[in-house]
């Protein structure tokens, strides 16, 4: 069952010995406690706790704890040459091998405008690669040298073995092309019978891959290639249950080149036919893989729909298939790509820091809601903590404040940042930037400028206090920021003799009390010394005969006044 989780405890008796499994439990805290007890009682030189998550038919392991003596690695042993990942031409078609081919031949594939899938299934590309001996030799070196370092085997021997294996793979696909093993698809006719005919072949996935590659060869544009693949995908997917043979195997084959087109560097830009910045690319991927979650969140917060707009029409088919449970590799790859981008240092929205914060907020909500597996949510949380480190860096803060002349707007930007960074360390750093601006002379000087209306400034300070609390910057940092805003508000009130002005300027006793209560409850001004002075004046006014007479003559006014008195702590 997908989503099963348990925790395994390993130990090493000595620094030189290997890890040995001691127990497996379902309680995380119990596993960690048991491991630490083993270490304390000297029953082990080192302990390790791993989290095992069952997903996609296999367990994935995540190390939660490693304590004790560091591992002493023994000298690398020479591994037999038969231990390599690839031992036959067919092994080049596995997912792991395709990914490695994409890396070591990235530049060559880019120049040809093709993917690793196409190279493995097109005789003309195989011959072209074989002719470019320098490219091929360099690619083999990229594989052989790391393998030699890991196994202590001879680089020369590994190069020779890999070259022999590559020659066999090239000869195989060229020979299959010459004997016309790969059929031609006719998109003007029903695709299903054409694929069903291929199903009778002993190596049906390989043959279908060759036919798909021939279809892709007709176009150099990734967008046009994707268009042809979309037609094939729809043909094998839009099939009513019981209507013809199961073509799920064919969908898995066609998914491979689709995933590779999306995985290419700037792949989304090529597929969309335009340049996209990293943020736009992530927005498209998010809408593609967690579109349902975006729509649900949009019913509550419509702003997310503008930050993560619908995918282009020609990509909608893949979003629909992902939501139906198909294209799991494409979905997983897209999520990995987004998390990798988040962990990086590249700006997602260069030149627009506010839009970048908006995007990260939307992505955090969408990915957290759309990824149901616990291990996925853990990875997402960690990725956003990593990205938040960049958000609180001096370079980003400088960009965030660039061109901002109004001190209130500058504080609002820092608060927006503080609300959306993740991780206590990053929250603390965001609070430091905030306090640096709040305690600056410019902040106090600009707000005490008599040219700006005092009432407007006090209302803005009250709003900032509420946002400070909402940002959850930590108890001490929140108290300091709220106190600073309250202090500046009190200075502004003293500059204009606010309390005295209200007492003298009110047209009626009720108006006077209501105005004072608006400051006593921190609605019209910030909480702090100003609010306390307003409360004291309210109590003084309520004891005056004039106000008492006014309240007695107007029971409705007294009823309206009572909730404000309770809120100010002046009545029960």
| Per-residue burial over 327-357, b = 16 or more CB atoms within 10 Å of its CB, e = otherwise | beebbebbbebbbebbbeeebbbeeebeebb
User: What is the pTM (predicted TM-score) of this model?
Assistant: 0.71
Task: Using the 3D structure, point to which of 178, 196, 229 is the last residue of a domain.
Answer: 178
Q: Give the span between the Cα atoms of 101 and 95, in whole angstroms.
A: 10
| Whether residue 89 sits in one domain with residue 60 | no
Mean pLDDT over residues 48-59, rounded? 82
List the single range of 107-121, 384-398, 544-558 with lowest mean pLDDT.
544-558
For position 322, what pLDDT does the model report?
82
Taking 60 as the threshold, does the pLDDT of residue 33 lie above it?
A: yes
Which tens digit of pLDDT belongs to each residue from 399-455?
999 999 999 999 999 999 999 999 999 999 999 999 999 999 999 999 999 888 999
The answer to whether residue 148 sits within a structural domain is yes
85 and 174: one domain? yes
Q: What is the pLDDT of residue 491?
A: 95
Confidence of residue 459 (pLDDT cuts 50, 70, 90): very high
- pLDDT above 70: percentage of residues in the chain: 92
Same domain? 64 vs 90: no
| Total domain count, the chain | 3
Could you tell me if residue 113 is inside a domain? yes
Judge whether residue 170 has pLDDT over 80: yes
Residue 165 has pLDDT above 50, yes or no: yes
CA distance 98 to 116: 6
pLDDT at 214 over 70: yes
On whether residue 193 sits in a domain, the answer given is: no
- Is residue 232 assigned to a domain? no
Q: What is the pLDDT of residue 81?
A: 42
Query: What mean pLDDT comes out for the span 326-348?
Result: 86
What is the pLDDT at residue 241?
A: 57
Q: Are residues 11 and 89 in the same domain?
A: no
- Answer with the one of 43, 68, 93 that is the final residue of a domain: 68
- Token look-up 């009778």 returns 200
- The answer to whether residue 74 sits within a structural domain is no
Tell me how far apart the alpha carbons of residues 488 and 484 are, in angstroms, rounded to a whole number.
Answer: 6
pLDDT at 238: 66
The answer to whether position 286 is within a domain reads no
Over residues 515-565, the pLDDT tens digits come to: 888 898 889 999 999 999 988 888 888 888 887 887 777 776 666 677 777
Does residue 524 sit within a domain? yes
pLDDT band at 72 (very low <50, low <70, confident <90, very high): low
Q: Is residue 203 part of a domain?
A: no
pLDDT level of residue 383 (50, 70, 90 thresholds): very high
Q: For 71, which DSSP code?
A: P
Same domain membership, residue 12 and residue 45 = yes
In this structure, the answer to whether residues 47 and 115 fall within a common structural domain is no
Output the average pLDDT for the chain.
86
- In the chain, the percentage of residues whose pLDDT exceeds 90 is 37
pLDDT at site 128: 93
Confidence of residue 74 (pLDDT cuts 50, 70, 90): low
Lowest pLDDT segment from 59-73, 108-122, 281-295, 345-359: 59-73
Of 121, 151, 178, which residue constitutes the final position of a domain?
178
Q: Which of 7-21, 192-206, 238-252, 315-329 has the lowest mean pLDDT?
A: 238-252
Contact 236, 192 (CB under 8 A): yes
Contacts of 339 (CB under 8 A, 6+ apart): 379, 380, 383
For residues 90 and 160, state if they share a domain.
Answer: yes
Residues 52 and 137 in one domain: no
Structure confidence at residue 13 (pLDDT): 83
Q: Are residues 101 and 161 in the same domain?
A: yes
Strand 58-68: give its sheet, edge to edge.
20-25, 5-12, 46-55, 58-68
Which of the two residues, 23 and 425, has the higher pLDDT score?
Answer: 425
User: pLDDT value at position 82?
Assistant: 42
480 pLDDT above the threshold of 90: yes
* Confidence (pLDDT) at 4: 80
Among the listed residues 18, 1, 21, the one whose alpha carbon sits nearest the alpha carbon of residue 10: 21
Q: Residue 349 corresponds to which tokens in the numbers above?
A: 């929205």
Q: Is residue 544 within 8 Å of residue 478, measured between CB atoms?
A: no
| Residues 53 and 98 reside in one and the same domain | no
* Domain range enclosing 529: 504-572
The reply to whether 62 and 87 lie within a common domain is: no
């Amino acid at each position: 069952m997908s989503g099963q989780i348990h925790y395994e405890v390993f130990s090493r008796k000595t620094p030189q010995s290997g890890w040995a499994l001691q127990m497996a439990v379902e309680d995380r805290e119990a596993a960690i406690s048991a491991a630490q007890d083993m270490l304390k009682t000297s029953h082990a030189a080192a302990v390790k706790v791993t989290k095992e998550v069952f997903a996609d038919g296999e367990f994935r392991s995540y190390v939660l704890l490693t304590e004790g003596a560091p591992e002493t690695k023994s000298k690398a042993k020479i591994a037999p040459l038969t231990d390599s990942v690839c031992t036959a031409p067919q092994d080049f078609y596995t997912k792991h091998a395709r990914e490695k081919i994409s890396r070591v031949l990235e530049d060559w594939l880019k120049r040809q405008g093709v993917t690793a899938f196409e190279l493995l299934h097109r005789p003309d590309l195989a011959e072209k690669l074989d002719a470019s001996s320098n490219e091929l030799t360099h690619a083999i070196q990229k594989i052989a040298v790391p393998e030699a370092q890991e196994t202590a085997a001879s680089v020369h021997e590994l190069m020779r073995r890999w070259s022999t294996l590559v020659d066999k793979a090239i000869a195989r696909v060229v020979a299959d092309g010459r004997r016309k093993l790969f059929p031609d698809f006719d998109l003007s006719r029903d695709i299903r019978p054409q694929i069903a005919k291929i199903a009778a072949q002993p190596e049906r996935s390989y043959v279908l891959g060759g036919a798909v590659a021939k279809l892709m060869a007709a176009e150099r544009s990734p967008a046009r290639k994707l268009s042809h693949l979309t037609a094939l995908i729809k043909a094998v997917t839009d099939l009513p249950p019981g209507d013809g043979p199961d073509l799920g195997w064919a969908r898995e084959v066609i998914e491979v080149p689709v995933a590779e087109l999306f995985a290419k560097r700037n792949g989304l830009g090529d597929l969309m036919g335009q340049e996209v910045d990293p943020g736009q690319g992530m927005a498209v991927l998010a809408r593609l893989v967690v579109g349902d979650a975006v729509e649900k969140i949009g019913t509550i917060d419509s702003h997310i729909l503008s930050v993560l707009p619908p995918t282009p029409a020609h990509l909608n088919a893949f979003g629909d298939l992902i939501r139906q449970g198909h294209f799991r590799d494409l979905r997983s790859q897209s999520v990995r790509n987004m998390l990798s981008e988040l962990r990086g240092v590249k700006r997602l929205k260069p030149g627009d820091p506010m839009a970048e914060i908006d995007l990260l907020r939307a992505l955090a909500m969408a990915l957290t809601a759309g990824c149901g597996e616990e291990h996925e949510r853990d990875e997402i949380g960690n990725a956003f903590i990593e990205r938040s480190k960049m958000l609180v860096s001096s370079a980003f803060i400088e960009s965030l404040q660039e061109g901002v002349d109004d001190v209130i707007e500058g504080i609002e930007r820092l608060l927006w940042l503080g609300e959306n960074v993740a991780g206590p360390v990053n929250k603390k750093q965001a609070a430091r930037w905030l306090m640096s601006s709040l305690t600056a002379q410019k902040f106090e000087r600009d707000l005490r400028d008599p040219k700006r209306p005092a009432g407007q400034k006090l209302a803005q300070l009250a709003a900032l206090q509420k946002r400070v609390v909402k940002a959850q910057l930590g108890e001490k940092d929140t108290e300091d920021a709220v106190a600073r805003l309250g202090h500046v508000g009190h200075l502004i009130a003293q500059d204009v003799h606010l309390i005295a002005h209200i007492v003298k300027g009110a047209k009626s006793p009720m108006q006077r009390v209501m105005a004072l209560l608006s400051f006593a409850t921190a609605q019209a001004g910030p909480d702090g010394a100003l609010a306390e002075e307003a409360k004291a004046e309210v109590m003084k006014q309520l004891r005056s005969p004039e106000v008492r007479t006014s309240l007695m003559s107007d029971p409705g006014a007294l009823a309206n006044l009572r909730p404000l008195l309770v809120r100010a702590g002046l009545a029960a």
